Homo-oligomer: A and B are copies of this chain.
Amino acid sequence: MIPSEAYLASNYGVALGTLRQALALLVEDGIVRREHGRGTFVSRGLDSASMMRFFRFQSDNSNAAAPQSNILQRRFRHPSLAEAKAFSLEASGQVMQLERLRSIEGHPCLLESIVLPLPMFGALADSNTADWDDLLYPMYQRRCGLVVQHAQDELRFSHLSARQASRLRLESGHPCVLVERQAFDIAGRCVERRTTRGDAYSFTYTAHVK
């Protein structure tokens, strides 16, 4: 919680209305959240911004079963050109690459390739992936102090390679939807690059215009 309107206004020597306008801007950007009668709180950032919103896997019963998460592989390597640029790393720097499978009730749904810049995520490089949480963003915050504040997803249509298909228990060449995400912290630094693949036949997305 941050100090009250009245305190901040007098402390900074501005009128209450002006301070409220400033806070409204922070709310708009998702930096803080206001609760009538309680106070103004610093936002915890994105919890998951679930990739599941692009798909419909739930077996038509309405209970929102949280998907399980399995880290299949972890590698350390130098960044690609694009990664070095996005993360502001030297070509000689290091990144951690993860392969991750998300499942609902034991049924594999999404296959993810996650790339994290390394000095920053050092705390995760040393830990056992079996102990990791199902939701990564809250874990980034807890163990690395990194808050994911917004993200950008780019969707394309593609096909699964034989290796990808076997992970998802589908046939090689099966149509898939590919989501390429870049996630950013409050300062606007890219802190994660992620590629997610899921069955194109489960894809469904709703967009509101204006």
Partner-B contacts on A (CB < 8 A): 17, 30, 46, 49, 149-157, 175, 177, 200-201, 203-210
Are B209 and A153 neighbours in the complex by a CB distance under 8 Å?
yes
Contacts of A154 in B (CB 8 A): 204-207
Least CB distance from A28 to B in Å reads 10
Are A46 and B156 neighbours in the complex by a CB distance under 8 Å?
no
Are B153 and A207 neighbours in the complex by a CB distance under 8 Å?
yes
Contacts of A46 in B (CB 8 A): 209-210
* Nearest B residue to A183, CB-CB: B209
Which of A17, A46, A154, A156 has the largest number of chain B CB atoms within 10 A?
A: A156
Least CB distance from A174 to B in Å reads 11
Least CB distance from A45 to B in Å reads 9
Are B149 and A210 neighbours in the complex by a CB distance under 8 Å?
yes
A201 contacts which of B151, B157, B203 (Cβ < 8 Å)? Answer: B157
Contacts of A208 in B (CB 8 A): 150-153
Least CB distance from A148 to B in Å reads 9
Are A157 and B157 neighbours in the complex by a CB distance under 8 Å?
yes
Are A152 and B207 neighbours in the complex by a CB distance under 8 Å?
yes
* Nearest B residue to A17, CB-CB: B17
Which of A17, A46, A208, A209 has the largest number of chain B CB atoms within 10 A?
A: A209
* Nearest B residue to A175, CB-CB: B175
* With A150-B210, A209-B150, A209-B151 as contacts: A204 and B49 at CB distance below 8 Å: no
* Nearest B residue to A48, CB-CB: B209
* With A17-B17, A175-B175 as contacts: A210 and B49 at CB distance below 8 Å: yes
Contacts of A152 in B (CB 8 A): 206-209
Complex-state Cα separation, A200 to B206, whole angstroms:
17
Least CB distance from A202 to B in Å reads 9
Complex-state Cα separation, A209 to B180, whole angstroms:
13
* Nearest B residue to A202, CB-CB: B157
